[in-house]
Amino acid sequence: VAYAYTDNLLEDTLVLFTVLAIACQLQAMRSRYWWTWSVASGLATVAALLTKGPVGLYPLTALAILAWARQVPAAQVLRCYAVFIGSIAIAGILLLAYPPSRGSLHRYFEFQLVGTFEGARPMLHGRGFLAFEMLRNLLPPAIIVGVLWRWIGGSISRMGVGWLLVALTASLPLFL
């Protein structure tokens, strides 16, 4: 953990756990062992949450978006969500039952989350600045890809839109 903090590798670990969670969700939607994959996805999400805080919760939206993109029946999605959320809740209860982890989570919650929303922690840039920078960085490649896509006669697929939405949901915590 100390190595990740000093070398600023938290994002790398976060990406590992969130990609693992989403891969497990995809597997859960097409496997006979859906519950095992849903539990694995929940545990990977908890690991992402413990790595970088609420940003690690974005796989919660990925399941719904990818289920829509793949046209998975609602009953199957709800079943996977129930086990997925249940495994996150059980892991949370177990973490809070252990006094050292409960103390660490309480300190994190008070300093990082409550401090951010109450303005106790300095905010270098406002949310408008973040939105502008995101747009400024994404617009040129989006235009180039759009022109090339149109030039080769590509079509937009439901799965492509789903993956784009999943990628954009990763940016939502920046605006909180």
Q: Work out the angle at residue 17's Cα, subtended by the Cα atoms of residues 115 and 43, and round it to the nearest 5 degrees.
A: 90
Task: Give CA–CA dist 36/31, Å, rounded.
Answer: 9
| Position 43 confidence tier, pLDDT thresholds 50, 70, 90 | very high
Per-residue pLDDT at 68:
93
Task: Give CA–CA dist 49/17, Å, rounded.
Answer: 9
Per-residue pLDDT at 77:
92
Per-residue pLDDT at 119:
62
Task: Give CA–CA dist 5/105, Å, rounded.
Answer: 17
- Check whether 6 has a pLDDT greater than 70: no
Per-residue pLDDT at 63:
87
Cα of first residue to Cα of last residue in the chain, in angstroms, is 26
| Position 124 confidence tier, pLDDT thresholds 50, 70, 90 | low
Task: Give CA–CA dist 29/174, Å, rounded.
Answer: 29
Dihedral sign for Cα 35, 40, 41, 43, please: positive
In the block, which residue shows the tokens 């199957």? 76
DSSP 42-91: HHHHHHHHHHHGGGGGTHHHHHHHHHHHHT--HHHHHHHHHHHHHHHHHH
- Check whether 154 has a pLDDT greater than 60: yes
Per-residue pLDDT at 12:
86
Beta-carbon contacts of 114 under 8 Å, excluding residues fewer than 6 positions away, are 120
Per-residue pLDDT at 87:
97
- Check whether 47 has a pLDDT greater than 90: yes
Closest residue by Cα to residue 62 from 167, 173, 172, 175: 167
Angle between helices 59-70 and 10-30 (to 10 degrees): 40
Per-residue pLDDT at 46:
94
